[in-house]
């Protein structure tokens, strides 16, 4: 079945065609490790995880690459404020990041790349750009000339006229700036005292890379000059991804990325959750509120990744109630399929193909809210046996990642078939009001070490301790 993806570049849904059959290379912009990630960042990392899982579910061989931004303006500044080395600071927050993603059942990317380990690749790219005359040197660094780049701003739909001399003359050395201000940007920043111990030698001068060239160099190194998918939050469309396209395409003269995927923000009171705004929560804050990481993941899956969501504790607590019901129902379905409980099934003449329906939802631009709703429809469907439901839900969880396999491990001991058969015969006797027979069968069940109890939905069976 086709996978349809909303591509930011074309602003429409497109059928995914891989560069190499049955393979997909995905580059994800990872965290800047100067602090603990917030739950807005985690929304984007869950989106990456869903994308990867959907491709794996479709039997693609996936190479998911994520970078760790462990050198940039923010990390250097924070390490100096804390009076610790850049290595110490970034290693600490990288460890916390890994721990957070594991709590959320986010699969570890196949390649986690440190920017500091790829400085050579960045220097190589900058050298090529200098040679081609697309990059130029100033007093404080090496800059990329956006006026010489083909289609600069196509991803962010910027309109820059060749006559726009104001824009084309100005430069910006900061890593982050506004869409209203496209400028020549820094590829390499020459060493200043503020950089302390952080510098590398290059033929064009001692210094450190700009943020944007880091991802271009790592993506090229790990996946080649043209890659299938590149993803990030919408805040990265400009300038980060716009500049990545400019650098990579100017260096290699090849189309950089076939499908651009951008996830919408998590807001708080309609403002973007951001560290700089101080309006953020961390995963640990949620746990202090009694919210489990997987309940938070469940909440995220109830919205489409391209819709902005507004975070409130109450909203996530509501999702947690639904999540608990989901897990409890799953446990109960296992009980029923193990013969612990009586099951009434009215098999349909034409059974619904839930697996196909599920695949349709997730392959339609990763529609998790509809996939989750389908899982609930399956749970409530009286025409499907509990055993079948358990198998299907376990299968769906390969994408949803709600931890059902962990619940299976605590599955109760199977009830022997003959005991279930006896309990069913007793149920029939009771329906026929043959109390003598029902009591005789109960004794038989008890003698075999099991207790049978009657409920308004039928019987339950339990092994006596």
Candidates 160-168, 233-241, 341-349, 375-383: pick the segment binding ligand AMP (CB under 6 A): 233-241
> Within 10 Å of residue 203's Cβ, how many Cβ atoms?
8
Write the CA distances from 213 to 90, 126, 217, 243, integer angstroms: 19, 8, 6, 8
**DSSP H/E element including 310:** strand 309-310
What is the C-alpha to C-alpha distance for residues 205 and 126, in angstroms, rounded to an integer? 12
Closer residue to Zn ion, CB minimum distance, 30 or 403: 30
What is the C-alpha to C-alpha distance for residues 430 and 428, in angstroms, rounded to an integer? 5
Token representation of residue 171: 């430069």
**What track of x and - describes contact with ligand AMP for positions 54 through 93 (by CB under 6 A)?**
---------------x------------------------
Nearest to 135 by CA among 217, 53, 306, 251: 251
| Residue 233 binds to ligand AMP (criterion: CB under 6 A) | yes
How large is the C-alpha radius of gyration of the chain? Answer: 28
Out of 36, 44, 64, 368, the residue judged to bind ligand AMP by CB under 6 A? 44
- 238: DSSP letter: I
Q: Minimum Å distance from CB 277 to ligand AMP?
A: 9
What is the C-alpha to C-alpha distance for residues 164 and 184, in angstroms, rounded to an integer? 13
| Residue 232 binds to ligand AMP (criterion: CB under 6 A) | yes
What is the C-alpha to C-alpha distance for residues 286 and 293, in angstroms, rounded to an integer? 8
Candidates 153-161, 197-205, 269-277, 451-459: pick the segment binding ligand AMP (CB under 6 A): 269-277
Closer residue to ligand AMP, CB minimum distance, 43 or 52: 43
Q: Minimum Å distance from CB 163 to Zn ion?
A: 31
Q: Minimum Å distance from CB 250 to ligand AMP?
A: 23
| Residue 43 binds to ligand AMP (criterion: CB under 6 A) | yes
Interface size with ligand AMP, residues (CB under 6 A): 17
Closer residue to Zn ion, CB minimum distance, 230 or 430: 230
Q: Minimum Å distance from CB 424 to ligand AMP?
A: 52
| Residue 182 binds to ligand AMP (criterion: CB under 6 A) | no
| Residue 31 binds to ligand AMP (criterion: CB under 6 A) | yes
Closer residue to ligand AMP, CB minimum distance, 46 or 378: 46
Sign of the CA dihedral 48, 52, 53, 58? positive
| Residue 29 binds to Zn ion (criterion: CB under 5 A) | yes
| Residue 245 binds to Zn ion (criterion: CB under 5 A) | no
Residue whose entry in the numeric block shows the structure tokens 């499908």: 259
Nearest to 404 by CA among 328, 346, 351, 464: 328
Query: Omega of the bond prior to 239 within 30 degrees of 0, cis?
Result: yes
Report the partner that residue 215 touches, choosing among ligand AMP, Zn ion, none (CB closer than 5 to 8 A by kind). Answer: Zn ion
Closer residue to ligand AMP, CB minimum distance, 168 or 266: 266
What is the C-alpha to C-alpha distance for residues 465 and 451, in angstroms, rounded to an integer? 10
Strands (E), 119-253: 135-137, 141-144, 171-172, 184-190, 207-209, 227-233
- What angle is formed at CA 157 by the lines to CA 151 and CA 162, rounded to 5 degrees? 45
What is the C-alpha to C-alpha distance for residues 334 and 330, in angstroms, rounded to an integer? 6
Q: Minimum Å distance from CB 254 to ligand AMP?
A: 24
Out of 272, 297, 361, 389, the residue judged to bind ligand AMP by CB under 6 A? 272
Candidates 25-33, 271-279, 356-364, 425-433: pick the segment binding Zn ion (CB under 5 A): 25-33
Closer residue to ligand AMP, CB minimum distance, 172 or 274: 274
Q: Are 13 and 25 in contact, with CB atoms under 8 Å apart?
A: no
| Residue 246 binds to Zn ion (criterion: CB under 5 A) | no
Residue whose entry in the numeric block shows the structure tokens 């560069």: 19
Out of 185, 265, 296, 366, the residue judged to bind ligand AMP by CB under 6 A? 265
Residues that bind ligand AMP (CB under 6 A): 29, 31-32, 40-41, 43-44, 69, 232-233, 235-236, 265-266, 272-274
Residues that bind Zn ion (CB under 5 A): 29, 215
């Amino acid at each position: 079945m086709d996978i349809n993806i909303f591509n930011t570049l074309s602003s429409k849904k497109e059928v995914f065609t891989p560069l190499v059959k049955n393979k997909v290379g995905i580059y994800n912009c990872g965290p800047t490790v100067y602090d603990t990630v917030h739950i807005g960042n985690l929304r984007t990392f869950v989106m990456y995880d869903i994308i990867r899982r959907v491709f794996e579910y479709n039997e693609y061989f996936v190479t998911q690459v994520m970078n760790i931004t462990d050198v940039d303006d923010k990390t250097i500044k924070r390490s100096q404020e804390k009076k610790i080395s850049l290595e110490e600071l970034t290693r600490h927050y990288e460890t916390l990041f890994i721990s957070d993603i594991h709590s959320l059942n986010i699969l570890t990317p196949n390649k986690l790349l440190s920017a500091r380990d790829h400085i050579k690749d960045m220097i190589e790219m900058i050298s090529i750009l200098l040679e081609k005359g697309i990059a130029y040197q100033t007093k404080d660094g090496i800059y990329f000339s956006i006026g010489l780049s083909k289609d600069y701003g196509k991803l962010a739909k910027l309109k820059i006229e060749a006559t726009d001399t104001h824009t084309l003359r100005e430069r910006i050395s900061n890593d982050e700036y506004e869409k209203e201000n496209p400028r020549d940007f820094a590829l390499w920043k020459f060493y200043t005292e503020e950089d302390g111990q952080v510098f590398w030698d290059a033929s064009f001068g001692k210094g450190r890379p700009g943020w944007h060239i880091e991802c271009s160099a790592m993506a090229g190194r790990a996946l080649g000059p043209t890659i299938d998918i590149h993803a990030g939050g919408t805040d990265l469309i400009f300038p980060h991804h716009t500049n990545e396209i400019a650098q990579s395409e100017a260096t290699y003269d090849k189309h950089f990325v076939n499908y651009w995927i951008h996830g919408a923000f998590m807001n708080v009171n309609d403002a973007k959750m951001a560290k700089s705004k101080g309006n953020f929560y961390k995963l640990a804050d949620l746990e202090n509120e009694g919210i489990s990481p997987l309940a938070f993941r469940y909440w995220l899956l109830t919205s489409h990744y391209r819709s902005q969501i507004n975070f409130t504790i109450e909203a996530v607590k509501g999702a947690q109630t639904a999540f608990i019901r989901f897990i409890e129902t799953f446990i109960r379905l296992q009980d029923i399929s193990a013969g612990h409980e009586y099951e009434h099934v009215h098999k349909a003449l034409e059974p619904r193909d839930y697996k196909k329906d599920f695949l349709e939802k997730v392959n339609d631009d990763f529609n998790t809210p509809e996939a989750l709703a389908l899982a609930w429809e399956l749970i409530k469907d009286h025409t499907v046996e509990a055993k079948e439901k358990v198998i299907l839900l376990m299968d769906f969880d390969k994408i949803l990642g709600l931890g059902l396999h962990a619940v299976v491990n605590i599955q109760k001991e199977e009830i022997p078939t003959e005991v279930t058969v006896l309990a069913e015969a007793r149920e029939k006797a009771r329906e026929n009001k043959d109390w003598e027979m029902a009591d005789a069968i109960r004794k038989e069940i008890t003698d075999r070490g099991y207790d049978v109890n009657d409920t308004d939905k039928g019987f339950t069976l339990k092994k006596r301790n």
